[in-house]
Every structure is written in C-alpha cells, then in structure tokens.
C-alpha cells in the first residue's frame, strides 16, 4: 500500500476500535479468571504438580530405575525415602510417578501444540476461503469424527511400533478436529463482520486484515480450546499406555503406572492409588482451568 494516508487511517481505525472498551480483552479476562476460585485452585495445583514432576527427580535420593533389593513391594513410609512405597523390584514409586508425570505432561503439551496448530490452520483456511474448498475440508473433519480413533491409534502402533514420537503423532492426528470446527465457524462469521468490511473499504490488504483483525479475534476461542484439548490428550496417552500400547519400559508414564498398579492392587494397593490419584487430580485441575478460561474469554458470556 503506497503512501502514508491509508496506514494512518488504519491506525486511527484501530485506535477507535480499542477506545470504547477501556480495558483490553485480556486484562478483563484475567480479572474474571481470578474471581473463579475453582479455576485458580486448579491452576495452582497444576503448577505444583508440574514443578514437582520437573524438580523432585533431580533432588530425590533414588533414581526412577534404581532397584532397591532391600525394599521390594514396601508400603509407603517415611523411612528410607520411599514416601509412596516401592514396586516389586524395589523401585521408588514417588520418583517413578514424577518421571511418569514428566512423560505424560510432555506428551500432553507436544500433542496439544501440534494438534492445535493443525486445527487452527485447517479451520482458518477453510473458513476464510469458503465455498467448495471449505465443504471438502469440513467433510474430511466429519469423516474423522465417525472413526473410532483409538482403533486407528492401535492399528498405527501395531504396524509402526511403540515409539514416543509415534504416540505423540497418533494422538495429534485424532485431536485436531474440534479446534478446526470452532476456528472455521469463528473465521466464517468474522469474515463477514462489519469491521472487516470497514477495513476492506479503507483499503487494508487481505494479509493485514487477517493479521490485525481475524487473528486477534480468534485468540479467545483458540486459548479456550487449547486448554480443553490438554486433558483429552493426556487421557488418550494414558489409555494407550494402560492398554500396553504406549510408552515402554523402563520409561514410564501415569498410564503405565496405573496399569502396573492395577496388576498388583490386591497385594500392594498403594501402587495403584498414588499414580491414579495424581492423574485424576491433574485431569480435574486441567478441567477447572479450562472451564475458568472459557467463562473468562467467551464473548457470548458477557
């Protein structure tokens, strides 16, 4: 766009658009989020669990694959630094739970990041181009919904082997459709919004419209759906591992630990209780945070 007039016009328009709100969407949302006690508690818990998973194994006297032949299947006790007890080869459950948590959370983050990127790109392209391309792209999403994803995941794992990256990839492949749908819907309505028409009328190039007007308005739903995706992704990894098709020994994850615990729960119930509780608490906390963010960011709520 040559000349300086349009540029300043854009800035004027942008300033005008921002002015009446008084505070930005984000500070407003942060205020709403802080007022939601369940969400704040969930966030605190998540930070606590993540910090413990990252830091505790560094400082703990046992390593996650250390076998202690003097303390096999020992119930939880403060003696000998086995607070969560040990498994049948004397490995400390607390440090295993933390290392397992690292894996579960890493898979959760990586797969969420990948699936949300894919979902946003897919939805935004479909919504912005519209027409036949949109119909075709969304048809594929519908198709993916009808397929029981866990079966395809099992198929992939059977054929290609059990590998950390493959687990992430498989989970990604079946968790991006919600995001794509939501982003497409939002893009579609934004494309026809008056302020986009206005921007177009004053000659803002398409690229700049997308960057300045579409993307910022998508951020809300993207953030909300990203947080909603995390627990689902962690759950999928755990289910795969629980079925014996995910992370492999000696590496571990919460799903693997629950599986191992369930196998010996009659003799050593702590083996099931601690990892199950950690997983359940983390999932609940993630859900609370997700609900809190949705309430804070959903424009329909105000």
Of 95 and 156, CB closest to another protein: 156
Q: CA 82 to CA 92: how far, in whole Å?
A: 6
On the 0-12 / 13-18 / 19+ scale of CB atoms within 10 A, 45 is middle
Q: What is the nearest approach in angstroms of another protein to the Cβ of residue 244?
A: 6
The count of residues interacting with another protein (CB under 8 A) is: 39
Per CB under 8 A, 38 contacts another protein: no
Q: In the set 228, 235, 296, 297, which binds another protein (CB under 8 A)?
A: 235
Per CB under 8 A, 261 contacts another protein: yes
Of 112 and 217, CB closest to another protein: 112
β-sheet bridge partners, residue 92: 86
Q: In the set 136, 143, 202, 219, which binds another protein (CB under 8 A)?
A: 143
Of 68 and 291, CB closest to another protein: 291
Q: Residue 179: which of 251, 107, 122 has the closest Cα?
A: 122
Q: What is the nearest approach in angstroms of another protein to the Cβ of residue 238?
A: 6
Per the structure block, which two tokens stand in for 197?
């028409």
Per CB under 8 A, 269 contacts another protein: yes
Among the residue ranges 59-67, 143-151, 177-185, 208-216, the one whose residues contact another protein (CB under 8 A): 143-151
Per CB under 8 A, 151 contacts another protein: yes
Of 4 and 300, CB closest to another protein: 300
Among the residue ranges 21-29, 47-55, 149-157, 189-197, the one whose residues contact another protein (CB under 8 A): 149-157
Of 209 and 289, CB closest to another protein: 289
Of 128 and 174, CB closest to another protein: 174
Q: What is the nearest approach in angstroms of another protein to the Cβ of residue 157?
A: 6
Q: In the set 41, 113, 239, 251, which binds another protein (CB under 8 A)?
A: 239
Q: CA 28 to CA 84: how far, in whole Å?
A: 42
Question: Long-range contacts made by residues 121-126, C-beta under 8 angstroms, separation at least 24?
Answer: 122/176, 122/180, 122/183, 122/184, 123/179, 123/180, 123/181, 123/182, 123/183, 123/184, 123/185, 123/186, 123/187, 124/183, 124/184, 124/187, 124/214, 124/218, 126/180, 126/184, 126/187
Q: CA 193 to CA 67: how far, in whole Å?
A: 63
For the four alpha carbons of 146, 110, 45 and 99, in that order, the dihedral sign comes to: positive
Among the residue ranges 65-73, 100-108, 202-210, 253-261, the one whose residues contact another protein (CB under 8 A): 253-261
Q: Identify whether the C-beta of residue 253 lies closer than 8 Å to the C-beta of residue 241.
A: yes
Q: In the set 54, 147, 202, 211, which binds another protein (CB under 8 A)?
A: 147
The binding site for another protein (CB under 8 A) comprises: 143, 145-152, 154-160, 231, 235, 238-239, 242-245, 255, 258-259, 261-262, 265-266, 269, 272, 276, 279-280, 283-284, 287
């Amino acid at each position: 766009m040559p000349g300086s007039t349009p540029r300043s016009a854009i800035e004027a328009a942008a300033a005008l658009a921002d002015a009446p709100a008084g505070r930005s969407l984000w500070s407003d949302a942060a205020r709403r989020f802080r007022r939601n006690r369940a969400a704040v508690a969930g966030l605190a818990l998540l930070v606590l669990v993540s910090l413990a998973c990252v830091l505790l194994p560094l400082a703990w006297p046992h390593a996650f694959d250390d076998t202690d032949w003097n303390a096999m299947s020992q119930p939880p006790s403060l003696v000998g630094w086995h607070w969560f007890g040990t498994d049948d080869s004397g490995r400390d459950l607390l440090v295993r739970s933390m290392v397992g948590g690292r894996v579960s959370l890493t898979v959760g983050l990586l797969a969420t990041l990948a699936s949300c990127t894919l979902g946003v790109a897919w939805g935004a392209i479909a919504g912005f181009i519209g027409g036949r391309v949109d119909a075709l792209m969304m048809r594929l999403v519908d198709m993916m919904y009808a397929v029981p994803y866990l079966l395809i995941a099992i198929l992939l794992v059977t054929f290609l082997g059990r590998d950390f990256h493959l687990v992430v990839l498989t989970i990604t492949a079946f968790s991006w459709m919600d995001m794509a749908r939501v982003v497409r819907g939002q893009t579609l309505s934004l494309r026809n919004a008056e302020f986009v028409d206005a921007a177009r009328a004053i000659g803002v190039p398409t690229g700049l419209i997308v960057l300045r007007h579409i993307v910022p308005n998508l951020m809300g739903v993207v953030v909300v759906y990203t947080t909603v995706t995390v627990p689902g992704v962690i759950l999928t990894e755990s289910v795969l591992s629980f079925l014996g098709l995910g992370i492999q020994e000696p590496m571990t994850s919460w799903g693997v630990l629950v599986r191992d615990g369930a196998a010996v729960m009659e003799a050593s119930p702590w083996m099931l209780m601690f990892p199950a509780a950690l997983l359940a608490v983390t999932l609940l906390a993630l859900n609370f945070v997700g609900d809190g963010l949705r309430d804070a960011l959903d424009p329909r709520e105000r």
